[in-house]
């Protein structure tokens, strides 16, 4: 039988190259939402400061998105250090992940300009999607055995579940925004302590085969 | 005789690096067509949703282009895993391919803003060009023996012909658009079943030298 | 003595990565000069074609720049396959080269919008700068012995002189534009035959040590 | 105990790939601040030159930023040739470095449009941040032993201190700008002689263990 190339591969370097490109561009495009204010040249000395201060609101969503994208680059970087094979579905999952990442500049600017329940909801949905798709990708790669040998079953599951915490927290923040929008902005800070707590609890409940 | 470097090369890694860069940027630029609506700040809570809904039409062409570009990245990725040498003409063919890919954001936005026969025709022509040039590139690389040894003649031809299906379907959709524009948008969904059918039919008609 | 890292290096892969990034972005940014025309939605069917036709003038400078940048990527790609070491000055020369390449989208759009002697002069100066800097870089790398062993002195000089032809032709076209602007646009087509003629003449005048 | 992947790594190639991507995009985006002037087509021959001359002020901040970013790419390139391992904190430090680099196009354009004390202060603060974060990153990598073996303690300290000179000079220029803005623009030219002086002084005060 003619074996049509099966889109299975031994290496993931071009997946990483495309992803690094998208990450780098998204990180850099975020700054484009800031615009040089239009004040009369002869009054720039006095009026420019005020005009720039009006854009301070953009800074919160800019920094949040920069670190969300940056941290997901770190997570992607680490997951793909564990993944050394791929199939066609993994390529598609990575593409959907990049779709979610590359869409983020739009809700970021939206949130920077209008701080409403709607813009936070769109923003949090987008960030949740980023996390959910990457966790799905990892779960799939782990289940199909595309990971390097060093990853045992328990560690694979731990990483999967840890990866669900950020999307869960962002989805929670949408509910919080329905009650109090200002509080919702602080909900994402729950992510790091929750992940640390989860990893600790998981480790302490471990079977410990050699001990006893 | 002085041998001027002949632009022949043993590796294709910088071709892939340039291409990955163009793909990553095109994927990320597509989002720039969405713009933050301009509504009065004090009415953002009520009017923003409507203003955003006006941009939903952009979402169809955005998603279509994202996956067209993404899938052609996958195809390019797979073809170049089979290609391990190049000459000057292959570099030029890849350049024309990148020209067609990098032009796509313009007809994409055009189609998102105006859903007319003209915009669909321009869009479908651009996508067809992407597919035709990449198939030409593959056919040339295959014919010149730039592929790795594992590719036999029959498989090379199969890949060439399979690659002609997407441009053929998009060109067909231009004819359909002349009759009924709404139907034309669904014509591209024919691509995957047609490709599967083609591969199956090709395999079943195979000479089978060992059997019998 | 403390030896401060001397910015001398054995590999050029990150130079190529940065350059490929700049090339990929410039190739992709060129399309941003095309803008979706603003016609009333209900008359898009009839008026859009005319509005798009107004942008056809942009297509000449777009295609010219795409191929200028693309061909300089090919030349850069080939020169760096011969260069395997670098020093600080080579890094700076490559930076000035990237400055000239990344500036090109501005004169390209300028030329697309206004076809005047001034815009052609700016455009041709920019393209000449790209070629002059890259040739200087090659000449410097060749003279400092940063090239791989296979390059003999005569071939090095041949490449240097061949590289001066495109900037010379573009500078010539500025003079032609002062007389007749329309003719100037065709002057760059002299580059390929002149280069072929030069390579042939150089080879025929060769010392031929073994013969006779 | 389940060992959660510790974000420690043996290689830094994807860090470099992401960083090269950000550098390449920032270098290329800088040109976007130049805009094609809007003059009547029939008077383009006479009025365009004047309209373009109005943008000459942008050229100073454009070139300054291009070389600041380019030189920091060279520095990053050289530091990472000495770094061959990383941990989570190093990834975060590199992210903050990329944040500072990718923000630079905004103060660059601001400075190009308005030459005031405020815009120079914002610009110089941004450039200082770039230098401070990269020096912190190097100092951290050196202290944690992530560098290749060839780097002795004294050389590590020399590189750290040399890296503090550019941010110090840019911070100094903010003070100068408070007195005389035009002079402040020339203060950065102090960087190269100060660094050369520092390296020379450091080397001459060296212990010289073998001599005597």
Which ipTM value was assigned to this complex? 0.84
Q: Is the dihedral of CA B2, B6, B12, B16 positive or negative?
A: positive
Around Cβ B66, how many Cβ atoms within 10 Å?
A: 22
Work out how many CB contacts closer than 8 A connect C with D: 95
Greatest Cα pair distance, chain B, in angstroms, is: 80
Cross-chain residue pair B82–A113, CB shorter than 8 Å: no
Surface of D (185-204) touching C: CB under 8 A = 199, 202-203
Q: Cβ(B163)–Cβ(B194) under 8 Å?
A: no
Residue C27 structure tokens: 């190739």
CA distance D64 to chain A (A): 18
Pair of tokens at residue B149: 């040894």
What sections of A83-190 are H helices per DSSP?
A: 88-103, 105-113, 117-143, 153-179, 181-184
Looking up tokens 């059997």 gives B211
**Is B38 inside a domain boundary?**
yes
Residue of A nearest to B67 (CA): A95
Beta-carbon contacts of C35 under 8 Å, excluding residues fewer than 6 positions away, are: C55
- pLDDT confidence of residue A5: 44
CB contact under 8 A, D24 and C5: no
Q: Which two tokens stand for residue C139?
A: 């000449």
- Residues in chain C within 8 Å Cβ distance of B21: 20-21, 23-25
pLDDT tens per residue across all 212 residues of chain C: 334 444 455 567 888 889 999 999 999 999 988 988 888 877 877 888 888 888 888 898 899 999 999 989 989 988 998 888 888 899 999 999 999 999 999 999 999 999 899 999 999 999 999 999 999 999 999 889 888 876 778 888 888 888 999 999 999 999 999 999 999 999 988 988 888 888 888 777 765 554 43
Range from A136-145, A154-163, B7-16, C193-202 carrying the lowest mean pLDDT? B7-16
Report if residue A73 sits inside a domain.
Answer: yes
Q: How far apart are CA A212 and CA A202, in angstroms?
A: 19
Of the CA atoms within 13 Å of residue A81, those in its CB half-sphere come to 16
Residue contact C98–D70, C-beta within 8 A = yes
State the number of CA atoms in the 13 A half-sphere of D179 facing the CB.
Answer: 7
Tell which residue, A112, A123, A113, A117, has the closest CA to residue A177: A117
d(CA B139, CA B160): 6
| Pair C111, C54: CB distance under 8 Å | no
Residue D74 · residue D19 · CB < 8 Å = no
Q: Is residue C210 part of a domain?
A: no
Asked if A2 and B82 come within 8 Å (Cβ–Cβ), the reply is no
Q: Give residue A10's pLDDT.
A: 59
| Inter-chain contacts counted by CB atoms under 8 A, chains B and D | 3
Residue A7: both structure tokens together: 């889109």
Radius of gyration of chain D (CA): 21
Structural contact between residues A91 and A7, judged by C-beta atoms closer than 8 angstroms = yes
Cβ contact D66:C99 at 8 Å: yes
How near does any CA of chain C get to the CA of D64, in Å?
A: 12
By residue count, chain B amounts to 212
Q: Which two tokens stand for residue A69?
A: 């994208």
Question: What's the domain count of chain D?
Answer: 1
Domain span including residue D168:
8-204
Statement: residue A135 has pLDDT above 90: yes
- Residue A2: pLDDT band (50, 70, 90) is very low
D36 touches C at CB < 8 Å? yes
Express each pLDDT in B36-53 by its tens digit: 888 887 787 788 888 888
Task: Identify which of A77, A87, A64 has the alpha carbon closest to the alpha carbon of residue A8.
Answer: A87
**Dihedral sign (CA B178, B179, B181, B187):** negative
pLDDT at D209: 52
**Higher per-residue pLDDT: C202 or A174:** A174
DSSP for B113-130 reads H--SHHHHHHHHHHHHHH
Q: Which of C17, C30, C155 sits opposite B2 (nearest CB)?
A: C155
D20: nearest CA partner in chain B:
B21
* CB crowding D164-195: b at 16 or more within 10 Å, else e: ebbbbbbbbbbebbeeeeeebbebbebbeeeb
What sign results for the dihedral spanned by CA atoms B49, B51, B57, B60? negative
CA distance linking residue B8 with residue B1, whole number of Å: 18
> E strand or H helix at D134, and its extent?
helix D117-143
Determine the distance in angstroms separating the CA of D30 from the nearest CA of chain A, rounded to an integer. Answer: 11
Separation in Å, CA of D30 to nearest CA in chain B:
16
List all residues of chain C from 3 to 22 with a beta carbon under 8 Å from chain A: 21
Structure tokens at B51: 């203003």
**Pick from C103, B106, A62, C73: nearest CA to D29:** C103
Q: Which candidate in B7, B76, B106 is best for mutational testing of the C interface (most C CBs within 10 A)?
A: B106
Q: Which positions in chain D touch B21 (Cβ < 8 Å)? A: 21, 24
CA angle B182, B188, B194 (to 5 degrees): 135
- The tokens of B44 are what? 């953002």
User: If you count them, how many residues does chain D have?
Assistant: 212
Question: For the CA atoms of chain C, what is the radius of gyration?
Answer: 21
Whether B1 is covered by a domain: the verdict is no
Do residues B163 and B134 lie in contact, with contact meaning Cβ atoms separated by under 8 Å?
A: yes
Nearest to C142 by CA among C150, C9, C95, B1: C150
Q: How many Å apart are CA D117 and CA D175, to the nearest integer?
A: 10
Q: Let me know how long chain C is.
A: 212
Q: Which residue of B has its CA nearest to D17?
A: B17
Q: In terms of Cα–Cα distance, which of B115, B107, B126 is closest to B56?
A: B115
Q: Which residue has the tokens 């840019």?
A: D170
Dig out the tokens for C187 from the structure.
């002057």
Q: Which of B97, B86, B160, B162 is nearest to B134 (CA)?
A: B97
Residue in C17, C29, C45 closest to B116 by CB: C45
- What DSSP character marks residue B54? T
Residue by residue, pLDDT tens for chain B (212 residues) are 334 444 455 567 788 889 999 999 999 999 988 988 888 877 877 888 888 888 888 898 899 999 999 989 988 988 998 888 888 899 999 999 999 999 999 999 999 999 899 999 999 999 999 999 999 999 999 889 888 876 778 888 888 888 899 999 999 999 999 999 999 999 988 988 888 888 888 777 755 554 43
Contact state of C73 with B18 under an 8 Å Cβ cutoff: yes
Residue with token string 């003629």: C197
Give the residue from D13, D25, D29, D32 with the most B CB atoms within 10 Å of its CB, the best one to mutate: D25
DSSP bridge pairs for B147: B83
Measured in angstroms, the CA of B88 and the nearest CA of chain C are apart by 8
| pLDDT value for B200 | 85
CB B85 within 8 A of CB B9: yes
In a domain, D76, yes or no: yes
Structure tokens at A99: 């779709």
Extract the tokens encoding C136. Answer: 């200087």
Q: Are A95 and B78 inside 8 Å of each other by CB? A: no
Backbone angles phi, psi at D114, to 5 degrees: -125, 115
| Kind and range of the H or E run holding D75 | helix D56-82
A51 pLDDT above the threshold of 70: yes
CA quadruple B44, B45, B50, B53: dihedral sign? positive
Q: State what percent of residues in chain A have pLDDT above 90.
A: 44
Among C21, C31, C109, the residue to mutate for chain B (most B Cβ within 10 A): C31
Q: How confident is the model at residue A210, as a pLDDT?
A: 47
D72/C contact by beta carbon, under 8 A: no
Residues of chain D with confidence (pLDDT) below 70? 1-11, 150, 206-212
**In whole angstroms, what is the distance from residue B178 CA to residue B160 CA?**
29
The tokens describing D99, both together, are 């944040």
- Which residues in chain A have Cβ-Cβ distances shorter than 8 Å to D105? 31
Give a yes or no: residue D167 inside a domain.
Answer: yes
Question: A105-137 burial, b if ≥16 CB within 10 A, otherwise e?
Answer: bbbbbbbbbbbbebbbbbbbbbbbbbbbbbbbb
Q: Which residues, 6+ apart, have CB-to-CB distance to D202 below 8 Å?
A: C2, D158, D161
Chain A residue with CA closest to D10: the answer is A81
- Lookup result for tokens 């002020």: D57
**Do the domain assignments include residue B2?**
no
The answer to whether D113 touches A36, Cβ cutoff 8 Å, is yes
Residue A209 within any structural domain of the chain: no
Q: Any CB–CB contact under 8 A between B206 and chain A? A: yes
Degrees, nearest 5: CA angle B70-B74-B75: 115
What's the DSSP call for residue B180? -
């Amino acid at each position: 039988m003619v074996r049509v190339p099966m889109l299975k591969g031994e290496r993931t370097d071009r997946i990483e190259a495309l992803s690094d490109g998208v990450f780098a561009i998204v990180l850099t495009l975020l700054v484009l939402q800031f615009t040089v204010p239009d004040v009369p040249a002869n009054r720039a000395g006095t009026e420019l400061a005020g005009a720039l201060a009006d854009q301070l609101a953009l800074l919160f969503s800019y920094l949040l998105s920069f670190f969300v994208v940056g941290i997901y680059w770190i997570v992607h970087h680490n997951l793909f250090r564990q993944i050394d094979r791929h199939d066609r579905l993994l390529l598609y999952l990575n593409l959907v992940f990049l779709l979610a990442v590359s869409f983020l500049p739009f809700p970021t600017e939206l949130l920077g300009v209008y701080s409403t329940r709607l813009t936070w909801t769109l923003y949090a949905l987008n960030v949740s999607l980023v996390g959910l798709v990457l966790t799905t990708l990892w779960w799939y790669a782990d289940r199909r055995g595309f990971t390097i040998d060093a990853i045992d079953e328990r560690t694979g599951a731990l990483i999967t579940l840890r990866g669900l915490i950020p999307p869960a927290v962002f989805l929670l923040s949408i509910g919080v925004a329905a009650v109090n929008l200002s509080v919702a902005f602080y909900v994402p800070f729950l992510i790091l302590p929750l992940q640390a707590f989860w990893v600790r609890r998981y480790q302490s409940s471990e079977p410990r085969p050699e001990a006893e």
